[in-house]
Amino acid sequence: MILHNSPSKTDSFNLPAVLAKTVALPVFTLIFLIHRLAFALDLILFPQLKNVPIKKPLFIVGLPRSGTTTAHRLMASHKELYTSMPLWELIFAPALCQKYLIWGVYQADAAIGGPVHKAVNWIQVKLAAIMDNIHPTGLTDPEEDYLGLLPFDGCFLRVLIFPFAKSTWALGDFSSLPVAKRQKLITAYRGLVQRHLKFRGEDKRLLSKNPSFTKWVNDLAKTFPDAGFVGMYRDLEQVVPSQLSSIHLGLQIFGYSAKDPRIVKKFVTLLKHYEDGIKEHEENLGSRMLPLDFKAIADKPEKAVEALYEHFHLPKRNNLDAARLSNLLAETKAYRSRHSYSLRDFGLEVQDLKSPLTSPLVNSAGA
């Protein structure tokens, strides 16, 4: 590994980063408290929530930047069968009472010509221009539902604000967390799913995509005994710089850098754990997991979708859903990422990724 010998900029005083943390932490805390109160209110308003069944969910896990988003969106186009949590639900309305409240506001806004909807769309377009080359998304697009666990401190996205905290990397590894903490998060996630299904339709199957859930698979498999899993993989030579590049801007906002050798080392170790985890899950879960290579979904997405349907014995699509898939397949084949990156950008060489794991991600020395 090529280490940067010059002092890291993240070690010096960074006024914009200090201001970002000063503003973000209390705002996030307030929002998360509101969400937790809304979750508690759900138990009073909807006492039957705990009885909402979760039937045959499908979890797309694996290495980040390995085609998980493409696989998710192709499968999510089967709307008659699957439902996924869109970004607006995860950020603004993880609780059921919040979903109904926002839906009511949307309906009222539509009745007067949709001025709020138009303003939100305008903001969304401006923000999308920043992210389109890295991770294109919108408020109504299916997104990683671990975002709904932010109020429970269960989302690895906290790495952007606390990249050197031992607890952050314990969350990334998940198995390093105490059993009670893991069970608390799994219970919270189950409740999140039940709220979504109650809102979207109890006849639907959950379709979830979270690379960070790669180390959750054993717990998820026990919690949802009829669940299926798709394990996406790709060469670490592409995964590591792509992942670091994708979070670089987020880290910069809070005064860190994805090129910091301490952060690089942690991510290399984490992604190696993910790579080993996919192989382990494939052995332990048998037919419940289908491994899928990035090249398969990128080069021949229609064949990859066929393999998924055959492996999990999924029903055929209706005409509308088939048309949606056809359009998405055409977009997938035509898509060319403008997201550029290389190992050397982060002080790495190929051989740095070849050495086997010799230590856990989290140890007594901390992160």
Domain spans of the chain, in order of start:
10-95+140-353
CB atoms near residue 12 (< 10 Å): 8
DSSP β-bridge partners for residue 195: none
Q: How far apart are CA 279 and CA 202, in angstroms?
A: 33
Residue labelled with tokens 């996030």: 28
Q: Is the dihedral of CA 338, 300, 270, 33 positive or negative?
A: positive
Whether residue 145 contacts residue 197, with contact meaning beta carbons closer than 8 Å, is answered with no
Which residues touch 124 (CB under 8 Å, ≥6 apart)?
A: 138, 139
Domain 10-95+140-353 falls under CATH 1.10.10.10: no
Please report the pLDDT score of residue 214 as a whole number: 96
Whether residue 11 contacts residue 164, with contact meaning beta carbons closer than 8 Å, is answered with no
Tens of pLDDT, residue by residue over 66-103, are 999 999 999 999 999 999 999 999 999 999 999 999 99
Tens of pLDDT, residue by residue over 217-241, are 999 999 999 999 999 999 999 999 9
Tens of pLDDT, residue by residue over 56-68, are 999 999 999 999 9
Q: Looking at residues 142-158, what average pLDDT do you find? A: 94
